[in-house]
Structure 1
Amino acid sequence: MKRVLPIILILFSITSGERVQAQFLLGQSSSNYAGVHGVYLNPATAADSRYKVQIHLAGFETYFYNNYLVWQAPYSPFQMMTNTVPSKYRGPNNGIIFRDQEYLREKLNGRDKHVRAGAEIRGSGVLFTINNKNAISINSRLRVGAAATNVSESVARLLKNGTVVSGRIEPEDFGAHLHANTNALVELSGTYARVLLDDEEEFIKVGITAKRLISLQQSHIHGQNINYQYITDPSVPNGAYVRLNNLSAQYGMTNEGAYSNASFSPAWLLGNASAGSGWGADLGFVYEYRPDVRKYSYREKGQMLKDNSKNKYLYRVSVSLLDIGRVSYKNPNYVEAYDLQRSGLILNESNFRQSPGLPGVMDGLNQTLRSSPEDQVSVYRTLLPTRLQASVDYLVKDKVYVNAMVIQGFVSNRNVNFTMPSLLAVTPRYEAKWFEVAVPFSLTDNYSRVAMGIGARAGILYVGSDNILPTFNIGNPKGMEFHFGLQIPIYRKPPESQLKCYPETEKRGIFGF
């Protein structure tokens, strides 16, 4: 067997990447003009926003990260993805020259490896301010990604290099492991947010988002207690077979009918005609301290009102619980999954060559592991990537803010779950009505990697990256991210006359009387 499990690696599309988490659009989501991006991070931000209406047209994000392969190519990952590699690194037919053994250096330190890659399409959506206390938002997005996590280093090398490689790592202990999955989910969501307290200096708002989730594709392989060894193949120089002495595995996939037959019919949306479906929710809370709120207050037609076109806080505290829920896979027309234990098997590459693509990989696993109807699982479930978001946003001076944010994930990546890594970020930004720029600094990828990004908003366009340095091939990249999109902002109007606002130093009682 020459290169056994690069085929399985292809299944999960993670040759140098990370998984679907959609990153966090750090340069956009903490702004007071974040609109629907802020709603994805905390549903409470929909209330008392600077928008009367915000229409999100379309947006796109892609990313990948890993702790195993270091990019050492003479061009950047961004250039490769956008097909802008210089001509001197192209072949006779203008194809990009990529020497994986030379351009991807393995980081070998004995620790478990992970790779993650993904993309998110943020579709049409709208945020609508009903009145001074209530707001709603309706949004759509497609979340796609792949991950391999908790992969023993010896297994990672087997996945990348196969068996024909000098210096391959022999497994030392019983108990090697591999956890990998892919997910593609359509999400339709509705958000309601309300102001609970508006008492001079103190301001509180809350929000909730309900989500309908429909699966277009899911695949997974989770191996535990893997005990294997290389057996020399005399017919291949430096070659070997892999003998599985023991293995506990759960694996499965949805077939191509799950996405080729997708439609927005009632049966599909209700889950009866899809491979998998489920429900999710976000909960959010925001507190603002407003010591100078009176300078934004004015009297109109006998009522005390506030200028809703302005930010009023010295600092803002945001807490939210995101992606509570799960997706169930039980449609027998689209789902095939197994849970089994095996010993004394040989992994044979020819098993994976009988049909192309994902069906070929599934057939290869079934033949190699000798699966039977008794091993088949009729229903399996994946948890959404539940996580806690907490942040503090501080006004440094007019239009200049600093945001500190932590996002901590809770869902285990040792099961068939949709997970997202944790991060810590500090983001200074300058924000104005029609223009904004932010520079996030973060400890991303479960606090293991330092990243610097940039985000900008100019009228209807937003663009940025949470990890900009790999774009310029700086620092031996292990990942990258970028995003862009279009929106139509309709801002809330200021008072007709600024003279209606009280001076900052004027002393008045509650509600300005």
Structure 2
Amino acid sequence: MKKTILTSLLVLGGLSAKAQSYVGFLTDNYSGVHSLIANPANITDSRFKTDINIVGASTFFSNDYYGLKLGDVVTSDFDFDTDGKKYPKDSNNFFGNADVLGPSFMFNLTPTSSLAIFTRGRVGYNVNKINGNTFESLSNDFDENDDLMIDEDDVYLTANAWAEVGVTYARVLMNKDQHFLKGGLSLKYLQGMGNAYASGKNITIDYDADGTPLPGGQTTGSIESVGEVNYGHSDNIDDNFEDFEVEIVDGATGFGVDLGAVYEWRPDYANYASKDGSNSFKHQNKYKLKFALAISDIGSINYKNGTQNTYDITGTVNEDDFENEDNLEDILDNLYTQTGTGNSEKFALPTAMHLNVDYSLNKSFYLNLNTDFSLRSNSKVNTNRIPTMVSLTPRFESKWFSFYMPISLTQGSGAQWGAGFRAGPLYIGSGSVMTLLLSDNSKAADVYAGLKIPVYQGKPKDRDGDGIINKKDDCPDEFGPAENNGCPWPDTDGDEVLDKDDKCPEEAGEVLNDGCPIVDSDGDDVMDEDDKCPNEFGPAENNGCPWPDSDGDSVLDKDDECPNEVGTVTNNGCPEAPEVTEEVQKQLNDYAKTILFNSGKASIKAESTSVMVDIIGILKEYPDAKFNVEGHTDSVGSETTNQKLSESRATSVKEFLVEKGIDSSRLTAIGYGESKPIATNINKAGRAQNRRVEINLVK
């Protein structure tokens, strides 16, 4: 009874879902054609001319229920049931895979693109959300006379084997200074080799050890169960989950896709570019920091001839009837109610996202951070998924040898420490070997090994050391610039100016004259190369050109203070200013004497504004002439008072004229008080004439 129930619950537990493969090895820049597994973009701009994989295999197992110490296993008395450590939970998970990379190869199509063709066989299983307490109950010292209660709720089990034939294309998308980007795509034809899956919904089983009476007073156990069971399989399983045979299944095909991109930051990019502009250092890693993102295993396999049955297991059966059935399928067919049948579900590939960061410490030592994240639900029928894993891998890397020690955190099974190496054509490793050797509680195990034929990129040859590789150098034994395809520039006329720079390549000349002889066509001692007017005699100060005389007044523009007005030599090329005549002087004073002031004050009366305007007009006609503004008074009042009044009135007139646009430097103001009368102060008429302002030319 115990064995039958355990077998019924595990169903596929003895089969070997896609999980991580080649842990540690895929971080190596020299993993070659294997690198397409992690990211299809990896194969271009690689360290290989070509890489041929003969055979390689990787197997992986991980769980969160059972842990052990590898050293104890090899002892003869180790009992898996009692000696291992168990961690039952309401939802335990198991993952496992076998991944075989068959004959595969990659090669470069062009300097910026590559192609790979690969074959691959894969076997894997998932047991998702199974109740670990069920295992605990069945694996402990369980007496057939004891009652047993199993509460499984929902559970999902999937196993699949398939083969892949694929092609990968990758190319460089951007190569600009320190930024480098490449992308890749893998298309895979999938051939199913066997598929089985089961799921349970709201499963409970109550075993009563003596719940069913038999004739003669005997009793047997009764099994009361509730829930729904759904299972399906490919037609090569022959209605028995335990008879899983890996073989080509007719009508079981599909397609898969892997996508990836890689960005490299190359701060020292100038060191990896030849002088002719081509990047020919494919034998070296050129990045300081690399970021890679990929999504793998997008797709499914349709087992067209597969079947799927659904059963309601609600009811009670006795133990004897249960034990008389050969396998789970017979139990379900004969003891429970079938509620549905049809074609099997498509098998969904274990779609996952992979993020990788690689840091170059120097040319040989690297530190890699990798994350694998499942994009598949753990509660979807007939679907494989990987456990989420984060790995930190330090590694030593060279052309013929690499060594790496990945440290990983795996979903459910915890921390793992592994080691691996590549030595030319051989690669061997494990992502968990150190944990298995040192820990007494290992919940994961993996190992991989393989053989390949690597053909590495060679260091480009440059015999003459001019920075242009031999195959692109037209003169591989002579040092020459990239602009002349690696050949030295000639100097035909031997004047030390190379022909490429010589404007007179067949006539010896001067270096300063671009290889041409220096001449002076107009004989002005300014050589033609510097002469802005090579055919006109002119002074050196004017770059060999004659000085102009724009206004034609015989005063050259360089000396002419009025270059656009005809003037006289004596006045530096400017027109002579007009002279103030006696008539003009008289007119000014006639106007000035009519300026009226407020009584006893210096303020000008408003009715004098028109006179002031006339005075301003005359002054503007003689812009170079200077004038004295003179104030006079009569003898009424004290002499001191009259002196101040005359000065104030003269100043008031000057300020008015300046305010209206007359340059202040042309005017001076002075007061004479009553000292210069022009009429008698005895009578009113005479005093009126003495109260005046005069504007006189300064000679």
- Note whether the superposition's TM-score is higher than 0.5: yes
TM-superposed deviation, 1:25: 1.9
| Other-structure match for 2:100 | 121
Match of 1:433 among 393, 396, 399: 399
| Other-structure match for 2:199 | 222
| Other-structure match for 2:644 | none
Distance 1:46 1:296 in 2: 19
Native 8 Å contact 1:4 1:158 kept in 2: no
Which deviations, in whole Å up to 9, do the C-alpha atoms of 1:307-348 show, x marking residues without a partner?
A: 1111100101101111111122221xxx23113433114385
| Other-structure match for 2:109 | 130
Native 8 Å contact 1:2 1:240 kept in 2: no
Tell me, yes or no, if structure 1 residue 466 matches structure 2 residue 431. yes
Distance 1:162 1:52 in 2: 61
TM-superposed deviation, 1:162: 9.9
Q: Which runs of 5+ in 1 are unaligned?
A: 77-84, 90-96, 503-507
| Other-structure match for 1:419 | 385
TM-superposed deviation, 1:163: 6.2
TM-superposed deviation, 1:68: 1.3
| 1:8 aligned counterpart, secondary structure | helix
Larger relative contact order, structure 1 or 2 (CA cutoff 8 Å, min sep 6): 1
| Other-structure match for 2:310 | 339
Distance 1:421 1:319, change over 3 A: same
Distance 1:104 1:410, change over 3 A: same
Which deviations, in whole Å up to 9, do the C-alpha atoms of 1:228-273 show, x marking residues without a partner?
A: 322123799xx954321x212211222437997956xxxx7xxxx2
| Other-structure match for 2:299 | 325
Query: What is the number of equivalent residue pairs in this alignment?
Result: 460
| Other-structure match for 2:129 | 150
Tell me, yes or no, if structure 1 residue 139 matches structure 2 residue 105. no
| Other-structure match for 1:243 | 224
Distance 1:345 1:57, change over 3 A: farther
TM-superposed deviation, 1:202: 0.7
Distance 1:461 1:168 in 2: 56
The amino acid across from 2:403 in the alignment is V
Distance 1:294 1:158, change over 3 A: same
Structure number with higher strand proportion = 1
Distance 1:70 1:32 in 2: 34
TM-superposed deviation, 1:122: 1.4
TM-superposed deviation, 1:469: 3.0
Distance 1:145 1:48 in 2: 32
Tell me, yes or no, if structure 1 residue 286 matches structure 2 residue 262. yes
Distance 1:450 1:261 in 2: 33
| 2:330 aligned counterpart, secondary structure | helix
Q: Sequence identity of aligned pairs in percent? A: 26
Q: TM-score, normalised by structure 1?
A: 0.81
Tell me, yes or no, if structure 1 residue 369 matches structure 2 residue 350. no
| Other-structure match for 2:87 | 107
Native 8 Å contact 1:43 1:209 kept in 2: yes
Which deviations, in whole Å up to 9, do the C-alpha atoms of 1:79-111 show, x marking residues without a partner?
A: xxxxxx45xx1xxxxxxx552332233223x44
State the superposition RMSD in angstroms. 3.2
| Other-structure match for 2:634 | none
Distance 1:169 1:452, change over 3 A: farther
TM-superposed deviation, 1:62: 1.6
The amino acid across from 1:232 in the alignment is A
Q: TM-score, normalised by structure 2?
A: 0.61
Tell me, yes or no, if structure 1 residue 310 matches structure 2 residue 290. no
Native 8 Å contact 2:221 2:319 kept in 1: no
Distance 1:350 1:37, change over 3 A: farther
The amino acid across from 1:243 in the alignment is E
| Other-structure match for 1:455 | 420
The amino acid across from 1:133 in the alignment is T
Which deviations, in whole Å up to 9, do the C-alpha atoms of 1:261-291 show, x marking residues without a partner?
A: 956xxxx7xxxx24x2211101101111111
Distance 1:491 1:129, change over 3 A: same
Tell me, yes or no, if structure 1 residue 66 matches structure 2 residue 63. yes
The amino acid across from 1:290 in the alignment is R
Native 8 Å contact 2:157 2:199 kept in 1: yes
Native 8 Å contact 2:72 2:78 kept in 1: no
Tell me, yes or no, if structure 1 residue 489 matches structure 2 residue 454. yes
Tell me which structure has the larger Cα radius of gyration: 2
Distance 1:354 1:231, change over 3 A: closer
Native 8 Å contact 1:224 1:248 kept in 2: yes
Matches of residues 37-116 of structure 1 in structure 2 within 5 Å? 37-71=34-68, 75-76=72-73, 85=74, 89=76, 97-108=77-88, 110-116=89-95
Which deviations, in whole Å up to 9, do the C-alpha atoms of 1:473-508 show, x marking residues without a partner?
A: 623222211110001000112111384559xxxxx9
TM-superposed deviation, 1:48: 0.5
Native 8 Å contact 1:113 1:156 kept in 2: no
| Other-structure match for 1:201 | 178
| 2:384 aligned counterpart, secondary structure | coil
| 2:3 aligned counterpart, secondary structure | coil
Which deviations, in whole Å up to 9, do the C-alpha atoms of 1:58-79 show, x marking residues without a partner?
A: 1111222211122267534xxx
Distance 1:230 1:52 in 2: 65
Distance 2:400 2:125 in 1: 36
The amino acid across from 2:329 in the alignment is M
Native 8 Å contact 1:127 1:137 kept in 2: yes
Tell me, yes or no, if structure 1 residue 36 matches structure 2 residue 33. yes
The amino acid across from 1:69 in the alignment is Y
| Other-structure match for 2:442 | 477
The amino acid across from 2:442 in the alignment is P
| Other-structure match for 1:79 | none
Tell me, yes or no, if structure 1 residue 296 matches structure 2 residue 272. yes
TM-superposed deviation, 1:439: 0.9
| Other-structure match for 2:369 | 404
| 1:366 aligned counterpart, secondary structure | helix
Which deviations, in whole Å up to 9, do the C-alpha atoms of 1:37-67 show, x marking residues without a partner?
A: 2111100011101111000111111222211
The amino acid across from 2:61 in the alignment is F
